């Protein structure tokens, strides 16, 4: 046997031995039950799922959550797990935060409403102009009949429920009314789900206005914990494994305001005349619901335009 043949033989033996060792390590069961996903006999992976860690303490609008109670911890655990394991939706919300939280935070502060109510907006709409099966619309999910009571215009051409800034102002009006009625921000937030009348009826019957001591409809029982879950996740997403780089965040739109005092018969032409597309106009002003905008005498509207476009 020549030297080249010997070298080839030793190389082959070494390669086979190394492969056997690697294979053995790959299929070895962890002694403590922890580790990577375990391969089954057909080589499919058997993943392991863990319960996300609950916060040791939590509050809403300065009001403490009684996490020392088993029933409260279990409800918080349920909502946290639900949102922790819908990663795609939660990641999308995290990316939208950079675009919309500055607008919402500014209006909450201007109206004297605690900053934590921005998480109620997340729970309502995931920071998107959605329409519910019941017909509630926008970031704050106002019904068509309710919106005008809080200063929002709703007609065929204009629907201010789609205007994030104005809808936030409207929601703040509701929260002030609810806080004055129930004496707590948690109660005010819960009533946003079941209504002032619905919450007041339960408070009266059960003789307590403490949300955590009330028996309410299932959706409202879960509602505050859903809000708290988003507060916990969005305050520090990386703590729970949601890694979003700054470059992945959706940036705020750079806009300037144009005051409209006369009717616009063709919004597509108006957009082109301003040096943008109709699509641009609708993205920045989703509250424009038709192809025209009628401006009655003495009234005006504020339309957002991309920075640098003509007023």
* pLDDT over 70 (residue 294): yes
Same domain, 260 and 225: no
Q: What is the pLDDT of residue 35?
A: 52
For the segment 174-189, the average pLDDT, to the nearest whole number, is 98
What is the b/e burial string over 181-218, where b = at least 16 CB atoms within 10 angstroms of the residue's CB?
ebebbbbbbbbbbbeeeebbebbeeeeebebbebebee
Express each pLDDT in 122-157 by its tens digit: 999 999 999 999 999 999 999 999 999 999 999 999
| 8 CB-near residues (< 8 Å, 6+ apart) | none
Percent of the chain topping pLDDT 70: 85
- Could you tell me the pLDDT band of residue 299, with boundaries at 50, 70 and 90? very high
| 136 CB-near residues (< 8 Å, 6+ apart) | 142, 143
- Could you tell me the pLDDT band of residue 48, with boundaries at 50, 70 and 90? confident
For residue 162, tell me if it sits in a domain: yes
Task: Tell me if 252 sits within 8 A of 104, measured CB to CB.
Answer: no
* pLDDT over 60 (residue 32): no
Q: In the numeric block, which tokens belong to residue 150?
A: 């809080």
- Residue written as token pair 């990316």: 95
Give the end of a domain, one of 248, 282, 298.
248
Same domain, 293 and 236: no
Same domain, 184 and 286: no
For residue 231, tell me if it sits in a domain: yes
Give the span between the Cα atoms of 193 and 21, in whole angstroms. Answer: 59
For residue 51, tell me if it sits in a domain: no
Same domain, 68 and 116: yes
Same domain, 183 and 242: yes
Same domain, 177 and 268: no
Give the span between the Cα atoms of 147 and 128, in whole angstroms. Answer: 18
Same domain, 159 and 178: yes
Q: What's the number of domains the chain is made of?
A: 3
Q: What is the pLDDT of residue 132?
A: 94
Express each pLDDT in 69-101 by its tens digit: 999 999 999 999 999 999 999 999 999 999 999
Same domain, 175 and 208: yes
What is the b/e burial string over 241-269, where b = at least 16 CB atoms within 10 angstroms of the residue's CB?
ebebeeeeeeeeeeeeebeeeeebeebee
Same domain, 292 and 203: no
Same domain, 146 and 192: yes
Give the end of a domain, one of 248, 266, 297.
248
Please count the CA atoms within 13 angstroms of the CA of 187 that sit on its side-chain side: 23
Q: What is the pLDDT of residue 49?
A: 82
Same domain, 146 and 233: yes
Q: If you ran DSSP here, which 8-state letter would residue 30 be given?
A: P
For residue 45, tell me if it sits in a domain: no
Q: What is the pLDDT of residue 50?
A: 83
Q: Which domain holds residue 302?
A: 255-306
Q: What is the pLDDT of residue 26?
A: 42
Give the end of a domain, one of 232, 248, 264.
248
For residue 52, tell me if it sits in a domain: no
For residue 190, tell me if it sits in a domain: yes
Same domain, 220 and 242: yes
Query: CA 303 → CA 134, 158, 179, 222, 270, distances in Å?
Result: 29, 12, 33, 38, 11
For residue 54, tell me if it sits in a domain: no
Q: What is the pLDDT of residue 80?
A: 96
For residue 32, tell me if it sits in a domain: yes
Give the span between the Cα atoms of 73 and 81, in whole angstroms. Answer: 12
Give the span between the Cα atoms of 237 and 90, in whole angstroms. Answer: 9
């Amino acid at each position: 046997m020549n030297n080249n043949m010997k070298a080839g033989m030793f190389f082959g033996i070494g390669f086979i031995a190394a492969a056997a060792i690697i294979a053995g390590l790959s299929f070895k069961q962890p002694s403590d039950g922890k580790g990577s996903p375990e391969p089954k006999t057909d080589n499919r992976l058997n993943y392991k799922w863990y319960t996300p860690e609950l916060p040791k303490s939590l509050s809403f609008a300065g009001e403490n959550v009684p996490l020392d109670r088993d029933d409260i911890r279990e409800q918080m655990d349920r909502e946290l797990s639900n949102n922790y394991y819908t990663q795609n939706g939660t990641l999308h919300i995290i990316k939208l935060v950079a675009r919309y939280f500055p607008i919402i935070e500014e209006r909450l502060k201007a109206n004297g409403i605690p900053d934590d109510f921005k998480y109620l907006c997340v729970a309502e709409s995931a920071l998107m102009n959605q329409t519910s099966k019941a017909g509630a619309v926008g970031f704050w999910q106002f019904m068509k009949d309710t919106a005008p009571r809080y200063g929002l215009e709703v007609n065929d051409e204009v629907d201010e429920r789609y205007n994030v800034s104005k809808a936030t102002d409207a929601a703040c009006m509701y929260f002030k009314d609810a806080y004055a009625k129930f004496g707590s921000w948690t109660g005010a937030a819960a009533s946003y789900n079941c209504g002032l009348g619905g919450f007041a009826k339960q408070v009266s019957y059960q003789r307590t206005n403490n949300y955590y001591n009330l028996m309410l409809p299932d959706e409202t029982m879960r509602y505050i914990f859903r809000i708290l879950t988003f507060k916990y996740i969005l305050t520090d997403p990386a703590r729970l494994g949601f890694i979003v780089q700054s470059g992945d965040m959706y940036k705020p739109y750079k806009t300037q305001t144009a005051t409209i005092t006369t009717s616009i018969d063709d919004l597509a032409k108006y957009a082109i005349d301003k040096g943008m597309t109709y699509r641009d106009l609708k993205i920045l002003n989703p509250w424009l619901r038709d192809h025209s905008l009628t401006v009655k005498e003495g009234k005006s509207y504020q339309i957002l335009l991309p920075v640098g476009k003509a007023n």
